[in-house]
Structure formats: structure tokens, C-alpha cells
Copies of this chain bind each other. A is one copy, B any other.
Amino acid sequence: MDKEISQAVIRRMPRYYRYLGDLIDKGVERISSYDLSVMMHVTASQIRQDLNNFGGFGQQGYGYNVKYLYEEIGKILGLNIVHNIIIIGAGNVGQAIANYVNFERVGFNIIALFDVNPDLIGKSIRGIEIHDYNELEEFVKNNKVDIAALTLPKNAAVESSSKLIELGVKAFWNFANVDIENEDNSLIVENVHLSESLMRLSYNIIRQDKA
């Protein structure tokens, strides 16, 4: 069994990926952990420790090959694999996400939206159909669904997540202001709690005003 890699490390990997992508765009071929650390405002030590959780991607005296490291991190994050996403709730947030074209470039395909609102059902966003919520069960049974994005009010989110769990969906991208119960840790949940994010912003504004 591989040693468990801490979520603190995982949280940083997409950021490395982003910076390396930017370096490729700038035509940079190689970079040392030190130079990258200056760009990213982190320590070189942390970069080397983080990367070495997954293998030795660098070379002494040379540093890291940008393109190679970029690709390796992409594989670590599973961006070379296609993930099918369904969006539960075709309101403002659900539609906003469905409109993001960039997710597809990194392997995330939105294959359907669901809603209970008759005004929305049947419409399409970028060619992705908004289905009747009542068709959810049938759809999940007949399609490969890797991730369910929950973009609906909290009560509805709880209800639909239990339905989806029953249907075998294991990964949730949760925008609702509630925690998805995950007692036995069999689920994978990523929360995007916008109101909590705003509250932290508010706290830090006040703290700075006081200092």
C-alpha cells in the first residue's frame, strides 16, 4: 500500500500545475525549486518535499523540466482521465458552471443538468440539456456519472445527495450551504461554501482595520 499523502500537499498541487502551465506559455524550459519558490511565494523546501511525495521529477544541478513536471502533475491529479459531471440544480450557479469551457480541457465533461423547474427543463446550455429531475435515476443508471455537482438549496441538496448515493455516485462537488453526511468516509466531497469564504474575508478585513 502506498503511503497516504496529506491533503495539505494535495491542496497545493493544482497551484503548482497552474504556475507550470504559465511557465510553458512563457516558453520557459526548466526551473529550479528556488526560482519557482520566489514566483509562488513559498519555500523551495516545501516544493521539493511536496513533489517528492510522488517521485523524483528533478535532476541535481539542473532543476525541473517544466513540461515534464507539468505533465506528471497532470497525471497525479487525474487530468488525463475523463470525468463525467452532472449538475443538480440549473439555477444561476449551475448554469454558470455549465458555461465554463475550461473544465473540459482538463478532463471534466458536463453531460447533463437537472432541475424541477418546468421553465428550465428541455432547454440547453452550450448544448448540454437540462433534464427533468424526475429522470435523474434513469439517467444515472444509463450513463457513467463520476461527479455530481450540487447547485441547489440546502434541503434539496441533502435530499438529492442521498438519492445519488443510493444510485452509486461517490463524488460530490457541493455548492450548497450544508455538509453532505459522509459517516463512513466512503464519499469524496469537495465543498465550495461561498458564504464561508465571504465570512473569512470579512473577518480579515476587520482584523486588518484593527491592527
Contacts and interface: CB of A to CB of B under 8 A. Distances in A.
Contacts of A97: 194
Contact of A147 (B78, B147, B195, B201): B201
Contacts of A170: 205, 208
A92 interface: yes
Contacts of A195: 14, 102-103, 106
A8 to B, nearest CB: 11
Within the oligomer, what is the number of copies of this chain?
2
> How big is chain A's contact interface, by range?
35 or more
A79 B79 CA distance: 39
Given A92-B99, A100-B194, A14 B199 contact: yes
Given A18-B177, A170-B208, A199-B106, A92 B96 contact: yes
Contacts of A192: 192, 194, 197
Interface of A: 1-2, 5, 7, 10-11, 13-15, 17-18, 76-79, 81, 83, 91-93, 95-97, 99-100, 102-103, 106-108, 146-147, 170-171, 173, 177, 188, 190, 192-208, 210-211
Query: 6 closest Cβ contacts across the A-B interface?
Result: A14-B196, A92-B96, A78-B202, A14-B199, A96-B96, A190-B201
27 contacts: A5-B207, A13-B199, A14-B193, A14-B196, A14-B199, A14-B200, A76-B203, A77-B199, A77-B200, A77-B202, A77-B203, A78-B199, A78-B205, A79-B202, A83-B202, A83-B205, A91-B96, A95-B96, A97-B194, A103-B195, A106-B199, A108-B202, A171-B201, A171-B204, A173-B198, A173-B201, A192-B192
